Structure 1
Amino acid sequence: MTINLKGELIDLTKPKIMGILNLTPDSFFDGGKYNSIDRAITQAEKMICEGAFFIDLGACSTKPGANEISEEEEKKRLYPVLERLIEEFPKNHFSIDTYRASVAKGCLSKGASIINDISGGQFDHAMMETVGNFGAPYVIMHILGKPRDMQKNPTYKNVVQEVLYYFSEKIQLAYSNGINDIIIDPGFGFGKTLEHNYELMKNLELFQTLELPLLVGVSRKSMIYKKLETTPEHALNGTTVLNTTAINKGANILRVHDVKEAKECIDLLQALQ
């Protein structure tokens, strides 16, 4: 299992870590922590040193109930940090968490490697063509609804079948727009109840039938802290349990806040193979 990052073939047989860098004042776990350039750079360096292969920059909160910010505000938060990161860590790969084609275009022009789109092209129909024009890898996530309303009674007849069908459609659309490297993300917590999330996790190995790299992002999410009746701050242990399960069921990329713990998880599982 490989992806092409700027001409370099990256082997995902051993799972890779995507460190989360939120440049937002209102993200559910770390909102406001890294909303200055220097703090963001320091956190990115820490995650790289701890073993993150990708750093995923997000400037628009997509937590349940989140309101959209303007395109200009998103660019204003992203561009200065991305430029500094590429200048200071030219050999590392930076992913951009955005659903807007113009933001993706600007960031890819500045040297970003991957676009991570929570909407899989649903929120901006120019997105796939934009990514295809740059030849960049594209993360297609499943979401039902939009962040502001996605947790208001999400309903499925069969969540696993419906998410698989969604991917089969989006993958063909991505290929038709010239995207060659596709990564799929089931979208834990995005338009899903706790039961839906655990049904997806229990059946995660079925996503291997799509024969594409699988990204899993459960880090400190409500599917953990609500089930354990705790808070995001106390959800690291639960995160590690679900990351372990995800790898055993075929995950190729773990998207996490806590890189050191995720790397230890991967290294120990590799030692057992």
Structure 2
Amino acid sequence: MHTMWKGTISFGLVNIPVKMHAATENKDIRLRQLHKKCKTPIKYEKVCPNCEEDVSNDDIVKAYEYAKNKFVVLDDEELEALKKEQEDKAVEIIDFVQLKDIDPIYFEKSYYLSPNEGGSKAYALLREALLDSGKIGIAKMMIRSKEQLAVIRVYESAIVVETIHYPDEVRAVSDVPNVPEQADVGKKELDTAKLLIDQLTTEFEPEKYQDNYRTALLELIEAKKNNEEIEVGGEPKSTPDNVTNLMDALQESLDRAKKDKPKPKQPKKKTATRKKKATS
């Protein structure tokens, strides 16, 4: 597994040398753009619209636009020095909190941590302490030129870093249009909705959820590569019934859920076997 970052995680005076690895991967299928006429991949060239010249990487500088067409230019040396200053610091766990206290809207990306040389015992100590206490750590760390707020927690047998958004990166709910302030629903509708939720409730089994579009796209690509006959689309999905009344829609959904839900398997009856007494 590729190492993305090396450093130390500390809590109190305990320092743990660690390596960081991406815990997830993006499996989106990337499609290239070709010239329709000759099937050649399209190139994207960097051109200055003012000078009308092609620009190489050596001729490009980074800048911050603080007003329309007004920039503060930042040298690579300045950015590298600032980045190095932060990277050299140990990742210190600032606080310990309950995982349930953090709303999922804050979570961003997951990384595995593995112990670096000489860090196995301290790594195991932190893992067991987190498990026994039921707490997670809150820390700050530099990842790809950005100071990240992060959660340190345990997933199965590994310590995991979950980068989380800062509060000012989460947009205010008050900015969402047309959200009703008061619930204008009847008791019967609410009770039926809760029954429907109960009927559709199950244990989370991540293996049963699949990316059907990606699977179909891969099959299409493989078929075209092998010059096979292709049928795209198949049978159309059934369209929802035109049920306009909310209560009718809830009741029909509940009836369908009861009908479609598999019946629980009955445990097999054990037949009791009597032990024969030993005869002398």
State the TM bucket, normalised to the shorter chain.
under 0.3
More helix by share: 1
Larger RCO, structures 1/2 (Cα 8 Å, 6+ apart): 1
TM-score, normalization by structure 1: 0.17
Structure with higher Rg: it is 2
TM-score, normalization by structure 2: 0.17
More strand by share: 2
